[in-house]
Amino acid sequence: MMNAEQYEQSLRKLNLVVYLFGERLSNVVDNPLLRPSMNAVAATYELAHRPEYEDLLTVASHLTGRKINRFCHIHQNAGDLVKKTKMGRLLGSLTACCFQRCVGMDALNALSIATYDIDKKYGSEYNKRFLDYLEYVQEKDLVCDGAMTDVKGDRARAPHEQDDPDMYLHVVETLKDGIVVRGAKAHQTGAVNSHEIIVMPTIALREEDKDYAVAFALPSDTEGITYIIGRQSCDLRKLEEGLIDRGNQYYGGHEALVVFDNVFVPWERVFMFREYEFAGALVEYFASYHRQSYACKVGVGDVLIGATQTIAEYNGVEKASHVKDKIIEMNHLNETLFCGSLACAAEGHCKASGTYMVNTLLANVCKQNVTRFPYEIARLAQDIAGGLVVTLPSEKDLHSPEVGKWIKKYYRTKTGIPMDHRMRILRLIENITMGTAAVGYLTESMHGAGSPQAQRIMIAREVDMSLKQKNAKILSGIEKR
């Protein structure tokens, strides 16, 4: 397994085509806007070497028996799924941001099931290809970017009905040694911190859309792939002198639009090719796994709750009954999110491939709660923090010879609490609830792993309504036992 330094050096060897603010970056690793996101991924490597985290962050490969990072693992039992949940919460609490490896892990597990199912029907060799690829990922300890979300164009039209066929990534040419694809994948978290990109369809498909039923993996610096970094609120604070105004002084995230411009994929890296009837199942496998993965938001919630308790103490209001009650509510909501992720893991079941799958209904219930509870937790944090969370002057003002003395005088609270401590914790609350970290804590909670309505559709599909009705009719005397 790599450590953090080895991971960083592995990224320096990549020749990525990355654009930010209209210009191509010559150095992705050291760019101050992207460096915090790389640090978050590096933490998943470094912490895996610490004895106290070994049980959660490492596991024996079911292919080779060698010790590997859990992010490269295929779940072998419900215990693996439970440890995945606990790992997500742990890393969220230690980074307070998205650590960017869950999507790749979930893509690997979804493909381990889907490729087996396709082979069973068609006698193809996708699963063998996939397992060879998986062993390579495990051996090299690689970060995989799971790329599912197409840009979609006109949502009222199927892929083949779009005015521009590239609105969904698709096969444009079939060659003797592989295929050529074109399109784009949006909202790609941690894309430029990844060694590999794993592409999957984004929706269930019909026969007319079979050219869009394609899954494959490529090195992230493959010719024809371009990354365009998305903006985040307050992102330019990372370019300022000083650290206080950043909020989170160590970690962050990034998202990118990833463009595939006539990219060649060799056959050994293709895991689905026009088997359109399996696209929907692959999407559901991935989505269920990824909806479980939002235990990471529980970890970020832990940090936000800790910051809220701290600012209440700094302000001298920690004993007020309404403040205590609000913090209890924050903890209640946060632990409820954790319960959902644990439940869908504990109720997991073995698929024909041998891979353990989460309980789909409970995974969707878990993610539905994630679309709501972090917003309430953030609201309560802002309530307790007070208006200063959005009116606080800058770190430069704090250090200004002219006005710094007034900030230190008028923004002090309890005796013994340095003013800059109050400033630092307020900036962290701002960062998580409305700054760059809010992308991962709030907006990602809403739209990550599918929109809220997507989960509601799955809940309606998975609930056994006929059994509920039958029991009600029996107990009310409408039907006999």
Enumerate the active-site residues.
Answer: 98, 102, 189, 255, 290, 294, 296, 444
Pull the structure tokens for residue 95: 């980074």
Pull the structure tokens for residue 476: 């009310």
Reduced 3-state DSSP string for 41-106: HHHHHHHHHCHHHHHHHEEECCCCCCEEEHHHCCCCCHHHHHHHHHHHHHHHHHHCCCCCCHHHHH
CA 291, 294, 296: angle at the middle one, nearest 5? 160
Q: Please state, in angstroms and as integers, the Cα–Cα distance from residue 168 to each residue in 110, 162, 265, following that order.
A: 20, 9, 17
Of 36, 49, 93, 26, which is closest to residue 338 (Cα–Cα)?
Answer: 93
Residue 331 CB-density burial (10 A; 0-12 exposed, 13-18 middle, 19+ buried): middle
Amino acid at 260: F
Pull the structure tokens for residue 400: 């200004």
Q: Please state, in angstroms and as integers, the Cα–Cα distance from residue 399 to each residue in 241, 388, 409, following that order.
A: 11, 18, 13
Reduced 3-state DSSP string for 343-410: HHHHCCEECCCCCEECCHHHHHHHHHHHCCHHHHHHHHHHHHHCCHHHHCCCHHHHCCCCCHHHHHHH
